[in-house]
Amino acid sequence: ERAAQIPGKLYLVDNLNDPITVKDQIDMQDIAQVAMVVIFICKNGRVDVQIDRKDYTMRGGDVMSLLPGTVFQFVNTCESTECAVIAMHPDFINYTSDVKLGIEFARMLHDNPIQKLDYPMMEEAIGIYKAIKNKLYRSGYRYKEEVAKNYLNIMKIFKQIHKKAYDRELTDTTLRY
């Protein structure tokens, strides 16, 4: 299976065991306005995208974060690309209760939507993604939403991006005084 979900809250899609084919490349050309928070993890390969009319290239080890309202398009992919996508309703995970920091976090993602992960962090992110997906597949499992939230909260990708936003806010504040 390529996809798992908690309807209206969390969607997981990947091709980790089935790399992209030429047919997939043709099917991925549509332009979309994102309605959820989307985390795109590129494990291997290359993906050319357009985000709010700016061109970007993701390579293996990159993670792209998109906020609701972002206009997005896949432009090109290489056939060896393996990726995982996490799309979640903005209220599914509370990134921060600090409004000022939350605004800075959003601004940082808008200015720099693609981050490079080191190999151990990439492996951990993919491992957590697979763990969430496995829990969502279990029929009769009552705590899918709670488990998914907890796994996502511990995923270091979010902590790394959040820390960069926090560090940037501290630098901006220091420069103002």
Q: How confident is the model at residue 126 (pLDDT cuts 50, 70, 90)?
A: very high
Query: How confident is residue 176, by pLDDT bands cut at 50, 70 and 90?
Result: very low
pTM (2 decimals)?
0.80
Q: Closest Cα to residue 34, out of 63, 11, 68?
A: 68
For residues 112 and 130, give the distance between their C-alpha atoms in angstroms, rounded to a whole number: 26
Report whether pLDDT(23) > 90.
no
Q: How high is the pLDDT of residue 140?
A: 84
Per-residue burial over 31-56, b = 16 or more CB atoms within 10 Å of its CB, e = otherwise: eeeeebbbbbbbbebbbebebeeeeb
Q: Are 157 and 121 in contact (CB under 8 A)?
A: yes
- Whether the pLDDT of residue 132 is over 80: the answer is yes
**pLDDT for the residue numbered 172:** 56
